[in-house]
Amino acid sequence: MSRLLVQGGKALDGEVDIHGAKNSTLPILAATILTGGETVLQNCPKLRDVEVSIRILQYLGCSAGWDGDALVVNTKDMNRHHISDGLMREMRSSSIFLGAILARCGKANLSYPGGCELGPRPIDMHLAGLRQLGATITETGGRLDCETAGLTGRTLVLRLPSVGATENLMIAACGATGTTTILNAAREPEIVDLQNYLLCCGARMTGAGTSTIIIEGKAPLHDCTYACMSDRIVAATYLCAVASAGGRIYLKGAKEEHLSTVIALLREAGCQITSQSQGIVCRAQGRLQSVQGVKTAPYPGFPTDAQAVVMAALLKSCGATMLEENLFENRFRHVDELKRMGADIQVSGRVAVVTGVEMLHGASVEATDLRGGAALCVAGLGAQGDTWVSGLDHIDRGYESIERDLCALGGEVTRI
């Protein structure tokens, strides 16, 4: 079993290219099914979840493989409409394939997805929307059996601005007859990236990035070459890394407009962050200051995926900061591991209070989910001594090579 050795106590100094966004790439890979042709996906990250998506596409009869740094997918010869239970369990967002398969084949069979255990993340809104578009869905023994004589566009109102439901319904609506309007849609930049990919293929839709998305279905789709947006959560992680360890870094490809709430918080804590035409520069020196309460919320609010790494950045701050997690129940699983390093964190329900300490010390810790694992690396960089991080399968789901990037930024991190 591999572990990361994080040797802390050294200020960072370096630069790195931010790789493509996991949360953008995965729905785009599902959407390739609609084209029935070839997609060349550039800036596609080589992540565990991406590899699972590749295996799902291959299981469906599609071809998918790397050509240098680009992923080439051809869905022309797709010959299955079901996904094995084993593949579904490997990735939480595997449910994103449902709308694409149903729109392409008229039927789809798959089980409920797996992934990080962050509490209930039901796909009821996905299923309700697909039913309104004309799908018949039977749920039996943890499996979903879906079929339709033809999807028909209509107005869909989401109970919550769910990212996954918005993406699934956008994709399915491309194969529906007529116009579909999604109200209370998620507004994340990754939704915009999915729309841009579909437009590149010939789809007709508008509104991504707002709460109303309109899709004109049955537009003929074609081959395309498309470059994924950079990963804003990876960028947030590395901003928090320099906030924890001190120093100066340059993140090429990072965009402030995608990270506005995280950057505002780090500036309030004392970091100097400057946007440039091609990226972001961040400087941090000495202990940070505590900040006013942090509350996670759907975009453009504070991202739940950045909560853990921001917590790690504030462990040595002066004062106390309250973080409130409003999206997932089990987003504080990293707290006990951070306490092993000397952190002072009190948790009550959905609220965690971080009281800054003067010093953290290295320890043996275990990642129990993706972003919590990244937070342990961030804390390790700001600690004295060696931190050993296990559970790398979680971290590898969202970071192409976190040790490579942190070393490029001046850290001492080794996979052993």
CA–CA gap between residue 145 and residue 21 (Å, rounded):
30
- The pLDDT value given to residue 119: 41
Question: The tokens 């009550």 sit on which residue?
Answer: 348
The neighbour count for residue 49, using CB atoms within 10 Å, is 23
Q: Are residues 242 and 205 in the same domain?
A: no
Q: Are residues 115 and 256 in the same domain?
A: no
**Per-residue confidence band for 215, with pLDDT thresholds at 50, 70 and 90:** very high
CA–CA gap between residue 354 and residue 304 (Å, rounded):
16
- The pLDDT value given to residue 120: 41
Q: Average of pLDDT values for 344-362?
A: 97
116 carries an active-site annotation: yes
Q: Are residues 214 and 242 in the same domain?
A: no
- The pLDDT value given to residue 116: 41
CA–CA gap between residue 169 and residue 178 (Å, rounded):
14
CA–CA gap between residue 99 and residue 33 (Å, rounded):
10
The neighbour count for residue 353, using CB atoms within 10 Å, is 15
In single-letter form, the type of residue at position 160 comes to L
pLDDT at 89 over 90: no
- The pLDDT value given to residue 93: 81
CA–CA gap between residue 21 and residue 103 (Å, rounded):
25
Q: Are residues 220 and 234 in the same domain?
A: no
Question: Which of residues 327 and 67 earns the better pLDDT score?
Answer: 67
* pLDDT tens per residue across span 273-304: 999 999 999 999 999 999 988 999 999 999 99
Catalytic member of 44, 62, 105, 116: 116
* pLDDT tens per residue across span 45-76: 999 999 999 999 999 999 999 999 999 999 99
Domain boundary among 227, 243, 260: 227
Q: Average of pLDDT values for 304-331?
A: 94
Domain boundary among 159, 193, 227: 227
Q: Are residues 120 and 212 in the same domain?
A: yes
Q: Are residues 43 and 170 in the same domain?
A: yes
**Per-residue confidence band for 114, with pLDDT thresholds at 50, 70 and 90:** low
* pLDDT tens per residue across span 146-179: 999 999 999 999 999 999 999 999 999 999 999 9
CATH of the domain at 35: 3.65.10.10
- The pLDDT value given to residue 328: 76
Domain count, the chain: 2
Domain boundary among 206, 227, 248: 227
Q: What percent of the chain is modeled with pLDDT above 90?
A: 91
pLDDT at 113 over 90: no
Q: Are residues 222 and 237 in the same domain?
A: no
Q: What percent of the chain is modeled with pLDDT above 70?
A: 98
Least confident of 26-30, 95-99, 114-118: 114-118
**Per-residue confidence band for 183, with pLDDT thresholds at 50, 70 and 90:** very high
Q: Are residues 220 and 237 in the same domain?
A: no
Structure tokens at 9: 């106590």
**What range does the domain containing 81 cover?**
25-227
pLDDT at 121 over 50: no
Kindly report whether the peptide bond that precedes residue 303 is cis, defined as omega within 30 degrees of 0: no
Q: Average of pLDDT values for 363-369?
A: 97
**Per-residue confidence band for 228, with pLDDT thresholds at 50, 70 and 90:** very high
* pLDDT tens per residue across span 367-400: 999 999 999 999 999 999 999 999 999 999 999 9
Q: Are residues 107 and 215 in the same domain?
A: yes
Q: Are residues 48 and 165 in the same domain?
A: yes
Provide the greatest CA pair distance for the chain.
Answer: 64
Q: In terms of Cα–Cα distance, which of 131, 135, 139 is closest to 156? A: 131
Q: Average of pLDDT values for 74-97?
A: 92
Q: Please give the angle made by the CA atoms of 237, 112 and 201, to the nearest 5 degrees.
A: 65
The neighbour count for residue 358, using CB atoms within 10 Å, is 8
- The pLDDT value given to residue 1: 81
Q: What is the mean pLDDT of the chain?
A: 95
**Per-residue confidence band for 79, with pLDDT thresholds at 50, 70 and 90:** very high
**Per-residue confidence band for 117, with pLDDT thresholds at 50, 70 and 90:** very low
- The pLDDT value given to residue 331: 81
pLDDT at 34 over 80: yes
Q: Which 3-state string (H, E, C) describes the chain?
A: CCCEEEECCCCEEEEEECCECHHHHHHHHHHHHHHCCEEEEECCCCCHHHHHHHHHHHHCCCEEEEECCEEEEECCCCCCCECCHHHHHCCHHHHHHHHHHHHHHCEEEEECCCCCCCCCCCCHHHHHHHHHCCCEEEEECCEEEEECCCCECCEEECCCCCHHHHHHHHHHHHCCECEEEEECCCCCHHHHHHHHHHHHHCCEEECECECEEEEECCCCCCCEEEECCECHHHHHHHHHHHHHHCEEEEEECCCHHHCHHHHHHHHHHCCEEEEECCEEEEEECCCCECCCCEEECCCCCECHHHHHHHHHHCCCCECEEEEECCCCCCCCCCHHHHHCCCCEEEEECCEEEEECCCCCECCEEECCCHHHHHHHHHHHHCCECEEEEECHHHHCCCCCCHHHHHHHCCCEEEEC
Question: The tokens 């120093």 sit on which residue?
Answer: 247
Q: Are residues 122 and 213 in the same domain?
A: yes
* pLDDT tens per residue across span 240-260: 999 999 999 999 999 999 999
Phi and psi of 71, rounded to 5°? -100, 125
Exposed, middle or buried by CB within 10 Å (0-12, 13-18, 19+), for 259? buried
Q: Are residues 167 and 33 in the same domain?
A: yes
- The pLDDT value given to residue 90: 87
Number of residues that make up the chain: 416
pTM: 0.95
